[in-house]
Amino acid sequence: MFTGIIESVGQITLLTSKQGDFEIKIKYESACLNDLSLGDSISVNGICLTVKKFNKNFMYFDLSNETISRITEFRIGEMVNLESSLRVNSKISGHFVFGHIDGIAKLTKNEIKSRSEEWTVKPPKKLMKYISEKGSISINGVSLTINSVQESSFKINLIPYTLENTALKNMGIGNKMNIEVDMLARYVETILKKS
């Protein structure tokens, strides 16, 4: 489990096919993730992955076909958001993020609003029922607040700090992003269905 507060931005330096699955190698700053251990869960662009090997400069992860089928395509040289898993005594500044991608959304509009950017994001239609004004959403692992909701899209605001300290600064119109809806919305739906 994560909070959507990004600790570091890494770079994919290697993507290798291994018997149908993939291995990725990510360059990272060890000062930001300084207590890393084998088997740790790390959010990589919002995807919960397990550290299988690491040193002070690189982390290695395996990606199963199931994971690959649900996420945006990784590319060598791509910058990715990194967050270590939540500890019991940790501060929760964002919202609960599980690292289980619900779908792929597209950035359709970007408007400059003073020093911030307002993005219009189009998610898969089936996820719109979980998206509500002032609710939370994870985009490439970043915890964000939904400004407003339209019929088939929603708007979010990215403050300068978020743009400067996450890989979202590299996104452009038409780019695809991993999204995870707020799990509380899913729980409410399940409870109502059983009532």
The CATH number given to whatever domain includes residue 73 is 2.40.30.20
Count of domains for the chain:
2
Are 60 and 141 contained in the same domain? no
pLDDT recorded at residue 43: 97
Are 113 and 80 contained in the same domain? no
Are 108 and 190 contained in the same domain? yes
Domain end point (choices 37, 52, 84)? 84
Are 130 and 170 contained in the same domain? yes
Q: Are residues 80 and 11 in contact, defined by beta-carbon separation less than 8 angstroms?
A: yes
Domain end point (choices 49, 84, 119)? 84
Q: Are residues 79 and 27 in contact, defined by beta-carbon separation less than 8 angstroms?
A: no
pLDDT band at 33 (very low <50, low <70, confident <90, very high): confident
Q: Which of 1, 14, 110, 115 is nearest to 60 (CA)?
A: 14
Q: Pick 119 or 190 by higher pLDDT.
A: 119
pTM: 0.92
Residue 155 lies in a domain: yes
Domain that holds residue 53: 8-84
Which helix (H) or strand (E) is 162 found in, with range? helix 160-165
pLDDT recorded at residue 154: 98
Over the stretch 59-102, which tens digit does the pLDDT of each residue have? 999 999 999 999 999 999 999 999 999 877 777 788 889 999 99
CA angle at residue 5 from 170 to 127, to 5 degrees? 75
Over the stretch 43-71, which tens digit does the pLDDT of each residue have? 999 999 999 999 999 999 999 999 999 99
